[in-house]
Amino acid sequence: MSGSTRTFDLVVAANRLPVDSVVGPDGEVGWRRSPGGLVTAMESVMRGRDGAWVGWAGDAGEAPEPFEEDGMFLRPVPLSPEEVADYYEGFSNDTLWPIFHDVIVPASFHRYWWAAYERVNRRFAEAVCEVAAQGATIWVHDYQLQLVPAMVRELRPDVRIGWFNHIPFPPVELFAQLPWRRRLLEGLLGADFLGFQRIDDAHNFMRACRRLLGLTTKGEVVNAAVEGRPTRYVRASAIPISVDFAGLEELAQTPEVIQRAKEIRESLGNPETLLLGVDRLDYTKGIRHRLKAYAELLEDGVVAPPDQVFVQVATPSRERVEAYRELRQEVEAEVGRVNGEFADIGSSAVHYLHHSYPRDEMAAMFLAADVLLVTPLRDGMNLVAKEYVACRHDGGGALVLSEFAGAWHELHQAYVCNPHDIAGLKQTIVTAMTATEAERRRRMRAMRRRVADHDVQRWAGRFLEALECAPSRPRRTTREQTADDAHAAADQRAVEARQAARSPQSAGSPQSAETGGRP
Ligand code: ADP
Ligand code: F6P
């Protein structure tokens, strides 16, 4: 059957498809799993569901034809080389990403990046509508597609639309820097339900709606009153994402993974303590802070190879964005400096691995590591922390976890750290390394219970249920409808009165800043 004639009751839209196309040396096109936590989580959710996934195949130029993969229908969205530069590397990862992560590096603003973002979001919305059956559930993901909910609603009022943000939602003081802040909020308010990692993220979003759009909110519900249209209510809640606990545990219990974990330790000289970091090479992950702390522990003589060994896996990421290029140079220079000073023949102080690995190899690394260092400066969740916990069926291991990772709000038994406080971070690493076996097991047991109870299937179930029960289009009696409309009209009058009382600047950005073409 031709791809374009098939429609589905469940459609996922995410910037990336679960697989990236790769061209081999012989020119053959192959597929490899895409990077990042979104794909890890949604891949296991979509397995076995008869759904479609709309996304980019990771290559500039023409998109491949729609195809089936693992029982899922994949509908690639094409991006031209300019759109990869302007929509993906530019607006998504050099404007939104820093703003949504505490401006760890400065954000760049370009009107032609925004124009590409708008254009690509529309293309995604059209592709979603093409594969959505009548009354379908549409699940849009992440910061790259914030305009898609309203665009889909405009084209297809029959569908139900949810959006989940995998990254933090910034405080209004940071979000307000975006010249296109109103358009982004209006785009999101096209959804029936908005899911966030933490309660604070949902609150930040609601505050932005109040402050920048002058909307009213009650509890978790935003009154998205738009002049001339029927009142819509949009719910915004925290539904923290998770991992496939049972699947990871099973994988980590296979004899092959257990054997491989032993081999990894042996190949590192059977250290007393193996410390591990696993991250995309991103400035949000706190890799520099972690290396600084470890280098100081080496200088202090608290750790020394071959008894203590640190392995840092740094997955290549967004390599054409300047801030990522700089980070790679700095990290690699620091690893070189540390090894130059503290390594010996056959025994490195820091093993640095700039590769992607298959799932079973990752599970073996988790099983081999005595201490996992998860020290982001800001992270929506950090699935690596939960994967480590899921793989430790032996009850061993210790997790050092930043208080700025979403995971910290669930994994309170981790060894908590503030990665900006290098002295504190060093102390936490030492505490985790030297804790008694009983103490480490007690903590790991509690964390495993939490992740087992709140796994990715439960997360998806909660999200879809919340979307199903979203208050946007409640079935109401005529009397309730009249009361609601009167209430909405009163809200609207209050909003208008507030807007009139404000200066034009404070109500939103000048319209001229919200449009723009390539220079
Ligand atoms: P992010 O979404 O910011 O990349 P997460 O920690 O939430 O961060 O998710 C990262 C995902 O990528 C996890 O599922 C992790 O196992 C996977 N991953 C990280 N590094 C690698 C690697 N080198 N090879 C394969 N998978 C990796
Ligand atoms: O979870 C955050 C996230 O940005 C996802 O949206 C994305 O798929 C992943 O990390 C990896 O980033 P990228 O798609 O830019 O390689």
With contact defined as beta carbons under 8 Å apart, do 402 and 419 qualify? yes
SS3 (DSSP) at 204: helix
Q: Which residue has the tokens 């990752």?
A: 362
Q: Which residue has the tokens 């975006």?
A: 178
Q: Which two tokens stand for residue 327?
A: 């980070």
Distance 509 CA to ligand 1 centre (A): 37
Residue 100 CB neighbour total at 10 angstroms:
24
Our mutation pick for probing the ligand 1 site, out of 280, 285, 381, counting the most ligand atoms within 8 A of Cβ, is 280
Q: What is the pLDDT of residue 13?
A: 98
Q: Give me the tens of pLDDT residue by residue for the chain, a chain 519 residues long.
A: 444 569 999 999 999 999 998 888 888 888 888 988 899 899 889 987 889 999 999 999 998 899 998 889 999 999 999 999 999 999 999 999 999 999 999 999 999 999 999 999 999 999 999 999 999 999 999 999 999 999 999 999 999 999 999 999 999 999 999 999 999 999 999 999 999 999 999 999 999 999 999 999 999 999 998 777 778 999 999 999 999 999 999 999 999 999 999 999 999 999 999 999 999 999 999 999 999 999 999 999 999 999 999 999 999 999 999 999 999 999 999 999 999 999 999 999 999 999 999 999 999 999 999 999 999 999 999 999 999 999 999 999 999 999 999 999 999 999 999 999 999 999 999 999 999 999 999 999 999 999 999 999 999 999 999 999 998 754 444 454 454 445 444 444 544 554 455 443 333 333 333 444 454
Distance 35 CA to ligand 1 centre (A): 6
Q: Does residue 280's CB lie within 6 angstroms of at least one atom of ligand 1?
A: yes
Residue 270 CB neighbour total at 10 angstroms:
12
Q: Find, among 93, 84, 97, 49, the residue nearest to 70 by Cα.
A: 49
Q: Which two tokens stand for residue 176?
A: 């307000």
**Cis? peptide before 471, omega within 30° of 0:** no
Q: Can you tell me which atom of ligand 1 is nearest the CA of 381?
A: 7
Task: For residue 312, give the DSSP letter.
Answer: E
With contact defined as beta carbons under 8 Å apart, do 239 and 463 qualify? yes
Distance CA 13, CA 369 (A): 35
Q: Find, among 332, 366, 330, 336, the residue nearest to 349 by Cα.
A: 336
Q: What is the pLDDT of residue 384?
A: 98
Q: What is the pLDDT of residue 518?
A: 56
The number of helices, as runs of H, and strands, as runs of E, in the chain is 19, 18
Q: Find, among 41, 36, 33, 35, the residue nearest to 74 by Cα.
A: 33
Ligand number with the minimum distance to the CA of 317:
2
18, 54, 65, 244 from 74: Cα distances, Å: 9, 6, 9, 22
Q: Which helix (H) or strand (E) holds 299?
A: helix 287-299
Distance CA 471, CA 338 (A): 56
Q: What is the pLDDT of residue 507?
A: 34
Q: Find, among 210, 217, 229, 228, the residue nearest to 508 by Cα.
A: 210
Distance 41 CA to ligand 2 centre (A): 12
Ligand number with the minimum distance to the CA of 100:
2
Q: Which residue has the tokens 């594969």?
A: 131
With contact defined as beta carbons under 8 Å apart, do 69 and 60 qualify? no
Distance CA 55, CA 24 (A): 22
Residue 104 CB neighbour total at 10 angstroms:
15
Query: How many residues would you count in the chain?
Result: 519
Q: Which helix (H) or strand (E) holds 195?
A: strand 193-196
Q: Which residue has the tokens 């995971």?
A: 407
Q: Find, among 139, 153, 141, the residue nearest to 39 by Cα.
A: 141
SS3 (DSSP) at 26: coil
Distance 314 CA to ligand 1 centre (A): 9
Q: What is the pLDDT of residue 58?
A: 93
Task: For the chain, state the CA radius of gyration.
Answer: 24
With contact defined as beta carbons under 8 Å apart, do 51 and 128 qualify? no
Strand order in the sheet with 132-141: 67-69, 72-76, 51-56, 8-16, 132-141, 160-164, 193-196, 233-238, 221-223, 216-218
Bridge partners for 401 per DSSP = 374, 416
Residue nearest to atom 16 of ligand 1 (CA): 384
Burial of 64 (0-12, 13-18, 19+ CB in 10 A): middle
Ligand 2 cavity residues, CB under 6 Å: 15-16, 35-39, 142, 166-167, 317-318
Q: Which two tokens stand for residue 130?
A: 């093409």
Q: Does residue 383's CB lie within 6 angstroms of at least one atom of ligand 1?
A: yes
Q: What is the pLDDT of residue 497?
A: 54
Q: Find, among 125, 182, 117, 59, the residue nearest to 513 by Cα.
A: 182
Type of residue at 413: Q
With contact defined as beta carbons under 8 Å apart, do 381 and 37 qualify? yes
Residue 161 CB neighbour total at 10 angstroms:
29
Q: Does residue 244's CB lie within 6 angstroms of at least one atom of ligand 1?
A: no
User: To 10 degrees, what angle do helices 148-155 and 111-131 make?
Assistant: 50
Q: What is the pLDDT of residue 177?
A: 98
With contact defined as beta carbons under 8 Å apart, do 406 and 394 qualify? no
Q: Find, among 217, 252, 214, the residue nearest to 234 by Cα.
A: 217
Distance CA 230, CA 193 (A): 17
Q: What is the pLDDT of residue 474?
A: 44
